[in-house]
Structure 1
Amino acid sequence: MKTFTFILCMAILPLFTMAQTKSFHDFTVKAMDGTDFNLSSLKGKKVLVVNTASKCGLTPQYEKLQLLFEKYGGDKFTIIAFPANNFNGQEPGTNEEIMEFCTLNYNVTFPVMSKISVKGDDMDALYKWLTQKSENGQADAEVQWNFQKFMIDENGNWVDFVAPKESPLSDKIVQWIEGKKN
């Protein structure tokens, strides 16, 4: 009987270890043009995910995000922006208007996805994963305002988040990109 129990436990144990949380790379989002963008295409890169808005007091952070992208963007790092209209209607535009605003005012060249909801009953599945420990396996991090930043490692694991008012050029973000400990 002990042998049978041992064999049964050994057969069932792998099933429990396979039930891990999802990875960032498991999601597909919509690009600005409405096509699917598989986040698995970012395997091997650190990713800074930011919810953005065009009519917010923090909107000038686009400039610093672009500087960060110009310095570090490439094979090892990228930024993905998700415009959202969840805070005082500060992102009312269409996808086309948002992209035009980003390009004309801040010369944004990092990926900007289609507008989504980052809070509330209609929250996008990716943002559920980013904000809920039960989804990401690391921490709860409710989106406080526009320009909250989430750090994702090369393997698609949730690392940490940075509050909206903190600069994209903060030591915390730069040291993480460079692989230095805070």
Structure 2
Amino acid sequence: MTIYDYTLEDNRGNTVALKDFRGKVLLIVNTATRCGFTPQYKALERLYTQYKECGLEIIDIPCNQFLSQAPEDDQGIQQFCTLKYHTTFLRMKKADVNGEHELPLYTYLKSQQGFQGFGNGLKAMGMSVLLRQRDWNYKDNPDIKWNFTKFLIDRKGSVVDRFEPTASMNLLEGRIIACLKESQ
């Protein structure tokens, strides 16, 4: 299977086939409206606005699995994101990214890029402490650990990177630029 074999449902109930994004650079991110990382919507919209003409697509998949930080329905999430952060990138139906009911796309993404840590800094340390309280061995599985985990897919459909919510947006932007330059 490849990334292009998956379909999603957008927040209006339409089927979105990832094969329609062949040749684009994709950033797939699980989001939440009431999370400490929610302000990343602003940076994501800036990236989308700046690079969409070069071939970047962002696919937002809201998720309520992390301390119920996306309690709204799909319409409420859309309204929040467009009014507060003026987002224009694709938003899918709220879905699970871990567990028995996880989207098959997330099973695939996690098989391609497992968890590699939160990096350094206060936010990284805070995430480690929080997760250790819930699961001492959280580092040993590829599950999504929190909201705003991002997967970067290159123009050929390869899952080339995984960015935890604590990752630098500058690092993310650099990797996006590198993918956009490849095979133009």
TM-score class, shorter-chain normalisation, is 0.7 to 0.9
Which residue of the partner structure matches residue 176 of structure 1?
A: 175
Which residue of the partner structure matches residue 40 of structure 1?
A: 19
Do residues 65 (structure 1) and 54 (structure 2) align?
no
Q: Deviations over 1:99-155 (max 9, x none)?
A: 0000000000011111110011111100000112xxx4x656421100001011112
Contact 2:48/2:58 (CA < 8 Å) preserved in 1?
yes
Which residue of the partner structure matches residue 87 of structure 1?
A: 66
Alignment of 1:29-178 (within 5 A): 29-132=8-111, 136=112, 139=114, 141-167=142-168, 169-171=169-171, 173-178=172-177
Once the two structures are TM-superposed, the CA of residue 23 in structure 1 deviates from its matched residue by 1.1
2-side partners of 1:139 and 1:115: how far apart?
22
Contact 2:30/2:61 (CA < 8 Å) preserved in 1?
yes
* Number of equivalenced pairs: 154
Which residue of the partner structure matches residue 131 of structure 2?
A: none
Q: So what's the TM-score if we normalise by structure 2?
A: 0.79
2-side partners of 1:56 and 1:139: how far apart?
22
Q: Deviations over 1:72-103 (max 9, x none)?
A: 11351111110000100001111100000000
Query: In structure 1, the residue corresponding to 2:90 is in which secondary structure?
Result: coil
1-side partners of 2:71 and 2:114: how far apart?
30
Which residue of the partner structure matches residue 26 of structure 1?
A: 5
1-side partners of 2:37 and 2:26: how far apart?
20
Once the two structures are TM-superposed, the CA of residue 163 in structure 1 deviates from its matched residue by 0.9
* Structure 1 unaligned spans of 5+: 1-21
Q: Which runs of 4+ in 1 moved over 4 A?
A: none
Once the two structures are TM-superposed, the CA of residue 170 in structure 1 deviates from its matched residue by 2.0
> Which stretch of the first structure deviates more once superposed, 46-55 or 73-82?
73-82
1-side partners of 2:97 and 2:114: how far apart?
16
2-side partners of 1:59 and 1:128: how far apart?
24
Query: In structure 2, the residue corresponding to 1:170 is in which secondary structure?
Result: helix
Amino acid of the structure 1 residue aligned with 2:86: N
